[in-house]
Structure 1
Amino acid sequence: MKKTVQFILEIQKILDKKTWIKVKLFYLAVLLSAIFEPIVLVLYKNLLNMLSNQVAFASTIFWVVFGYEFVQLLSGFSMLLIGHEKLKLEYTLNNILIKAVHNKLNRICEEEFEKENTYNLLERVKESFVNSVLSIIDGLIGGATQIIQCVGCVLIVTRINLYLGLAMILANIPYIIVNIVYNIKEYKIKQKCSLKKRQVSYYEEQLQYRKNAKDIRLFNATPYMLNRIENLKTDITKEYVMLYNKEVWLKSATTILKFVVTGLCIILCIKPTYYGTANCGDIVVLITASLNLENKIFELFENYYLIMNCGFIIEDWYSFSELPEEKEIKSNDTIENYSITFRNVSFKYPGTNRYALQGVNLHIKQGEKIVIIGENGSGKTTFINLLLGCFSSYTGNILIDGKEICNVYDEIRRNCSVVFQDFLKLQLSIKDNIFLEQSSLFEEKQIEEQVYFIGNLKNGINTVLGQLEEGGIELSGGEWQLIAILRAMVKTNKKIIVMDEPTSYLDSKKEDWFYATLLEIPKDMTVIIVSHRLSVAKLCDRIVLFKKGRIETMGTHEELIENSEEYKRMYFSQKDMYDINS
């Protein structure tokens, strides 16, 4: 419970002041409404006693009936109002908590996304965190309500029969213990099955992904995928079934015990009335309050069970919130010259022993256009990722204008534009995909005139893409890649442009447009292109050839043709593709 309280205090830090006040006011309103039930029982008891003994005046009975109905009305109205406010509050909390999770994801170091445990943790947080927080708050509110109602019922019951109340409380304890023990075991199984659940989600997503439909049908992959899903689900189910088989017997036994005790207590309540030694109203309300007490105790510990069950997500949340974040370094350093220097840089991906880059030394002048080439796995993309600050656990020095890159990350990202291999594709309009709400010197008409396929569309740059909205269209891989290139080009204040395989999906006509655009880039802007296609090599100032994580050689196209057998082999193997104007 201590951890739960600490967790709620952590949640308070996430919420804004206004929302936290709403939570507290809502909590207070629920507590106040909880007192109505005991009051109704007392009024009901008095009314029955008056009617059975026939000793009260009509006016007294009238006011008791009036009070009874009035409290019932207040109770019903308060529950209606609380239900309405609860829906609004849950909606607000849901939005704030989801935003908090995504903000944290945006700050986590890229290295963490290379670890399997991180993805297992993210799966559990994504699946349970928001609902668990809402359930914990709900459980705390429900628990406090039930405590007040239990106190009211206990006061009523003990005034008539002290031992009856104690018996009903004690009868629930074995059931509560069983629930707590198996709740802990269930969470351990959930942790154990995280990877398999993530694999199931992945395979199901692949089967549902629209663009996979042709491959799946052509290769008849559905039975294969379903078989993998079924095997994984069978393994997961076995774990839970083994637990539930043991749990059901213990829960059944403790439930039977609880109802046997309740039945005996009710018989003991009825006996005095039969012999005329107790008031009818006392006995009816005693039975009602006793049953209510039992139900409230059960609900109280169900809420405790709910909080404990959700409480395991607290450990996951703390693990998630403690994942290393990119360092926010406040520096007064400004970049005057966007020259780039890699000095003896080496890097291994987390969890591997092989160097992705080793002993890399390279200096790129501001305004220089560089193309990085090499076979798959030679370290080209890793070099780009280090330059963009995606990873920080490298050895050596990466300098911009002579300053360590880790000290100027913010400025680099503000002034660097990029086209990744796996670029962003949003099912929005072409305009939204290109500009992402950022201002730009480029005009929409200018883009429609330069990029022919956009100009040929009925709605031009405002054409909606994908299937989220009616009338959305699908683009080819090359058309999507042009949009990614345009997104990089329209970014304002850019000093460096980085492109990882920017022409991999382009046909010859689109590739010609790309080369023409490349030639128009201002001379003071640094351009770094990773490419398997050597057609771009003649347009760049220098070519850097990577091999097995090291720089094999570098120079101009002419120098490498003359001095590098590796480059010469690569170039002439593709020579027929390079009939371009340089």
Structure 2
Amino acid sequence: MNSEKLSFGESIRIFGKALKISMKAKTLPSYIVTLLGFPMAFIPTLIAYAIRSFSDGVQSLYGAGTAAIVNVLGMFVLLSCAYILQLTWNTVRNFYAKADALKILRYMKERILRCTCDVKYKYIENHDDFKQRIRFAETQAGERVAESMTMIIMLIQNIITFVSIIIVLLEIDVWVVVILIAACTPAVVMAYYFKDEEYISKTKWIYESLMAAAYYFESTWSNSINEVRFFGLYPWLKGKYRGMMNRYLVKKNKMTAKHTFFNALADLLRNGVYIAVLLITVRRIFENPSMGIGAFMLVFTMAGQLQNVTASIFVAAAQFASDVRYMQDFFYLDTLEYEKRDADAEPFESFDIGFENVSFSYPNTEREVLHNLNVRIREGEKVAIVGENGSGKSTFVSLLCALYEPDSGKITMGGEDIHINLSRTRKTLSAIFQDFAHYEATIRENITVSDGKRDTSEAQLLELAGRVSSLEVISEQPDGLDEIVGSFSPTGNNLSGGQWQKIAITRCAYRENANIMVLDEPTAALDPLAEAELYRNFASLTGERTTILISHRLGITSLVDRILVFDNGRIVEDGNHKTLMAQGRLYAKMYKAQAQWYN
């Protein structure tokens, strides 16, 4: 969202990029309709001529013979056909314009989705106001890019119509043309000013718009609806929503009132001039009766059209100047830093993990979450990471998964920096995060999506599910692995939190060539029996893989080779369960605090 004025050259460059995108959506029939639009731009002029001839013919019917009547009827049929052709053409053109716009909008949505999935993760944390910018691109800028092709074609066609109407009206009186065009000037100036003001306003009001949307979705989103209903939070959320919307509407209504007032003045001027032009035409006919009533009908028909098409041309030019700034905001997506992907990358051959003097702060914050961290995890080692909330555990995992780059220091696998080839790093890893996904799909897809290239039979999937404690979830479903689950399931079949977590664990284990497993709170949503079963199957789940496990429930720590205790962004203890309990420090206190509730 840029408040600086663009140069003419930069505007043309941006508009050219938009046209390339817009042209991608056009099919052969759409191109044919577009090309036919250029000769069809002469239709208004031909209709005006037909009206003039028809009017003159009707005027001359008194005392005329059969031939004159036949001629007038022929003109009437021709005029009717012209109107039908124009109506048909407008219908077809509008159909293809809407179809093209929908295709381009689909492309825009896919482009924004790809951006969100491929940009460096710092943007997800709202670096460079990414969330506001992506929202603006989605709701405002993308539509302007989609309409760019239609806008330029309509502008050219309007220019053709404009020139043809001027040529016709010059036959009546040159002042008719001059006055009609001059009367459009105020509307054109205001259109340019208003479009510029509208853009600046929308960029300034994006915060209110985002917050209003956030409060609205909090009231309706399935993740929060139970709490909203139970605590009766609707009045509070409505107040928050209304407060933000009122701030937005006060500003919007003030601007709208100003625009409406000045547009009304411009329309009043245009209508007054229209009447003046008709009076000029009457005077010309009075001076030269041979012009006939057809001349009046010609001006009556074309004066309004000239005003409309003149306004359309200059308003389109103003729209162009405004829309280019929206387009620039969309193409902001091209300026971001993207992760480099390598589809042919192979996993690491050595799986030793090293953190060397690693420090990290989240984007837009000064607080250092990890401080000069040094740790090495050997291949095949099972490591639990424990600590209080906010101690840096999940940040450690995010850095290991290469979602973020450290501010200083280096993270390695087999001695190689994990950020040199992100695809290689992520093919070596499999992970389940705290906020694991619930995909609106079949259970089979929810599992196999983690390794799309792997070909697995149903028996193999069920065998894996048995090893990671999710077989019961699958067996309970009417269609087994092919049961569609989620909030929008056709049968209303949404899994419980614990069931979803079991599926997420299975998805993590399904990744075939991942020799490092990262499990961030894998038992958070499980009941005690399911948690105990996971502990029993832990060796089967992880196999010989290097395993990094984060858990606030310390019962599982007795199953791992090593425990790293985090406190305030540092590793303060490192050892196995027996050693750390003997030391009697933070880990021992945490373990005893939990154990007392089970004794």
User: Partner residue of 1:553?
Assistant: 573
1:417 Cα deviation from its structure 2 partner: 1.0
SS in 2 for 1:498: strand
Q: Distance in 1 between matches of 2:371 and 2:331?
A: 35
Range with greater deviation from structure 2 (397-406 or 463-472) = 463-472
User: Partner residue of 1:531?
Assistant: 551
Residue correspondences, number: 579
Is 1:6–2:13 an aligned residue pair?
yes
Q: Distance in 1 between matches of 2:346 and 2:142?
A: 40
1:476 Cα deviation from its structure 2 partner: 1.9
User: Partner residue of 2:121?
Assistant: 110
Is 1:126–2:142 an aligned residue pair?
no
1:326 Cα deviation from its structure 2 partner: 2.0
Q: How does 1:88-487 map to 2 (within 5 A)?
A: 88-115=99-126, 117-274=129-286, 276=289, 278-327=291-340, 335-436=348-449, 438=452, 439-441=454-456, 443-446=460-463, 450=469, 451-487=471-507
1:198 Cα deviation from its structure 2 partner: 0.7
Q: Distance in 1 between matches of 2:396 and 2:360?
A: 9
The change in CA–CA distance for 1:208 and 1:375 in structure 2 (over 3 A counts) is same
Structure 1 counterpart of 2:172, one-letter code: I
Q: Distance in 2 between matches of 1:181 and 1:18?
A: 31
**TM-score, structure 2 as length reference:** 0.89
Deviations 1:399-432 (A, max 9, x none): 1111111112111212311101011112322222
Segments of 5+ residues of structure 1 without an aligned counterpart are none
1:329 Cα deviation from its structure 2 partner: 7.6
Q: Distance in 2 between matches of 1:78 and 1:238?
A: 42
Q: Distance in 2 between matches of 1:378 and 1:163?
A: 80
Structure 1 counterpart of 2:91, one-letter code: L
Structure 1 counterpart of 2:546, one-letter code: T
1:575 Cα deviation from its structure 2 partner: 2.2
Structure 2 counterpart of 1:235, one-letter code: R
CA contact (8 A) 2:14 2:327 kept: yes
Deviations 1:443-497 (A, max 9, x none): 3443565522321233323332234233122322111111111110112211111
The change in CA–CA distance for 1:308 and 1:25 in structure 2 (over 3 A counts) is farther
User: Partner residue of 2:53?
Assistant: 46
CA contact (8 A) 2:347 2:425 kept: no
The change in CA–CA distance for 1:300 and 1:199 in structure 2 (over 3 A counts) is same
Aligned Cα root-mean-square deviation (Å): 2.8
The change in CA–CA distance for 1:238 and 1:46 in structure 2 (over 3 A counts) is same
1:90 Cα deviation from its structure 2 partner: 2.5
CA contact (8 A) 1:415 1:496 kept: yes
1:571 Cα deviation from its structure 2 partner: 1.3
Structure 1 counterpart of 2:480, one-letter code: G
The change in CA–CA distance for 1:389 and 1:261 in structure 2 (over 3 A counts) is same
CA contact (8 A) 1:360 1:551 kept: yes
SS in 1 for 2:266: helix
Structure 2 counterpart of 1:531, one-letter code: S
User: Partner residue of 1:27?
Assistant: 34
Q: Distance in 2 between matches of 1:293 and 1:553?
A: 82
The change in CA–CA distance for 1:156 and 1:311 in structure 2 (over 3 A counts) is same
The change in CA–CA distance for 1:112 and 1:213 in structure 2 (over 3 A counts) is closer
Structure 2 counterpart of 1:478, one-letter code: G
Q: Distance in 2 between matches of 1:564 and 1:147?
A: 85
Q: Distance in 2 between matches of 1:242 and 1:385?
A: 47
The change in CA–CA distance for 1:263 and 1:350 in structure 2 (over 3 A counts) is same
The change in CA–CA distance for 1:128 and 1:71 in structure 2 (over 3 A counts) is same
Q: Distance in 1 between matches of 2:16 and 2:348?
A: 42
SS in 2 for 1:376: coil
Range with greater deviation from structure 2 (322-331 or 477-486) = 322-331
Is 1:544–2:561 an aligned residue pair?
no
1:229 Cα deviation from its structure 2 partner: 1.0
SS in 2 for 1:417: strand
CA contact (8 A) 2:347 2:514 kept: no
Structure 1 counterpart of 2:142, one-letter code: V
The change in CA–CA distance for 1:25 and 1:515 in structure 2 (over 3 A counts) is farther
SS in 2 for 1:422: coil
The change in CA–CA distance for 1:22 and 1:66 in structure 2 (over 3 A counts) is closer
Range with greater deviation from structure 2 (515-524 or 201-210) = 515-524
The change in CA–CA distance for 1:567 and 1:324 in structure 2 (over 3 A counts) is same
Q: Distance in 1 between matches of 2:384 and 2:409?
A: 23
Q: Distance in 1 between matches of 2:429 and 2:148?
A: 44
Deviations 1:514-550 (A, max 9, x none): 2233211465311111111111111111111111111
Q: Distance in 2 between matches of 1:305 and 1:333?
A: 53
1:334 Cα deviation from its structure 2 partner: 6.6
Range with greater deviation from structure 2 (156-165 or 80-89) = 80-89
Q: Distance in 2 between matches of 1:238 and 1:81?
A: 40
Q: Distance in 2 between matches of 1:383 and 1:152?
A: 70
Identical amino acids, percent of aligned pairs: 22
Structure 2 counterpart of 1:49, one-letter code: D
User: Partner residue of 1:565?
Assistant: 585
Range with greater deviation from structure 2 (251-260 or 541-550) = 251-260
The change in CA–CA distance for 1:548 and 1:429 in structure 2 (over 3 A counts) is same
Q: 1:36 aligns with which of 32, 43, 60?
A: 43
1:20 Cα deviation from its structure 2 partner: 7.7
Deviations 1:21-69 (A, max 9, x none): 7765543232232122222322333343355457996587677666555
CA contact (8 A) 1:357 1:549 kept: yes
Q: Distance in 1 between matches of 2:542 and 2:256?
A: 68
The change in CA–CA distance for 1:128 and 1:20 in structure 2 (over 3 A counts) is farther
Q: Distance in 2 between matches of 1:183 and 1:334?
A: 53
Q: Distance in 1 between matches of 2:487 and 2:579?
A: 50
User: Partner residue of 1:497?
Assistant: 517
Q: How does 1:510-529 map to 2 (within 5 A)?
A: 510-521=530-541, 523-529=543-549
CA contact (8 A) 2:25 2:100 kept: no
Q: How does 1:58-73 map to 2 (within 5 A)?
A: 68=79, 71-73=82-84
Q: Distance in 2 between matches of 1:340 and 1:2?
A: 51
